[in-house]
Structure 1
Amino acid sequence: MFEDDRDDKIYNLIISNGTDKNGEYRQFIEKVYSKTDFLWKESISSSYSTAGDAFFQKVDRIILLAGLYNDNKDTFHDLIEAAEKYEIPIILVRPYGLEEVPEILEEKAATIVGWNANCIIDSIKDSIDMI
């Protein structure tokens, strides 16, 4: 990486979590941590429906792990509502090992990405132009 290309921004992410039978959250976190030149932190709330303005106004991206959708629909819908209200881009990550994503999520996503670490990071950095 050239010095001029360095991105010193610390991205504040919400990453969908909850019931996770296949360990997709852990796998996603490992992918992001593998990119040592990408700076980020995660914002977590016990209830996204009541988190409020102060919480969401500092969030840069919402990452929805599509493989967790069926077991965590309420949380996903709360995050989608927040993304729309606060104009936060949604990055939709395909279910691990699958290509199809729930249509309701696909409609709301700024971008859809698979499990390649470089593609994930690029989509996070570039999604600001997609809202």
Structure 2
Amino acid sequence: MFEEELETHHLFITHNGPGDEEYLAFFQRLLEAPEFEWKDHGVPDMNQEEELEDQIRSAQVVVVLSGLYNRHRELVKKQVELALKLDKPIILIRPYGLEEVPPELDKLASGVVGWNRVCIVETILDVLGIE
């Protein structure tokens, strides 16, 4: 018979620019997730406020890589502020291999998760209200 087409989930994944190692590693985790269709609306070369706002507006969920927050605080802070302004749920990804997340981000998050791709997908679906 026909395979059921999977719904595409629209994400904005925080970034600091093309080629960031943590961003690329996270991107790869999601690519390896079976039966999870998604699109990242973040464009690493476009970091002006108006550009970021357009990117975040088209996403259902903002995924914040908290490891980037320590290295690129102002940019990630701007992305989080825009997510809040646009009333987008925020999922906070712990820094790779660590449990602690920045408390100022933790209090804003709808969910906090590590790097396990199954847990990441489950958290995204949970925040979206999808079982």
TM-score, normalization by structure 2: 0.82
How far apart are the structure 2 equivalents of 1:35 and 1:116? 10
Unaligned runs of 5+ in 1: none
How far apart are the structure 2 equivalents of 1:81 and 1:87? 10
Question: Which residue of structure 2 lines up, in the alignment, with residue 119 of structure 1?
Answer: 119
1:48–1:79 Cα contact (<8 Å) kept? no
Measured at CA, do residues 53 and 98 of structure 1 come closer, stay the same or move farther in structure 2, by a change above 3 Å?
closer
Question: Which residue of structure 1 lines up, in the alignment, with residue 68 of structure 2?
Answer: 68
Between the two proteins, the alignment pairs up a number of residues equal to 125
Unaligned runs of 5+ in 2: none
Identity across matched positions, percent: 32
Question: What code does the residue aligned with 1:37 have?
Answer: E
User: Is the partner of 2:91 in helix, strand or coil?
Assistant: strand
Give the alignment of 1:1-131 within 5 angstroms: 8-18=6-16, 23-45=21-43, 46-47=46-47, 49-51=49-51, 54-129=54-129
TM-score, normalization by structure 1: 0.82
How far apart are the structure 2 equivalents of 1:110 and 1:93? 11
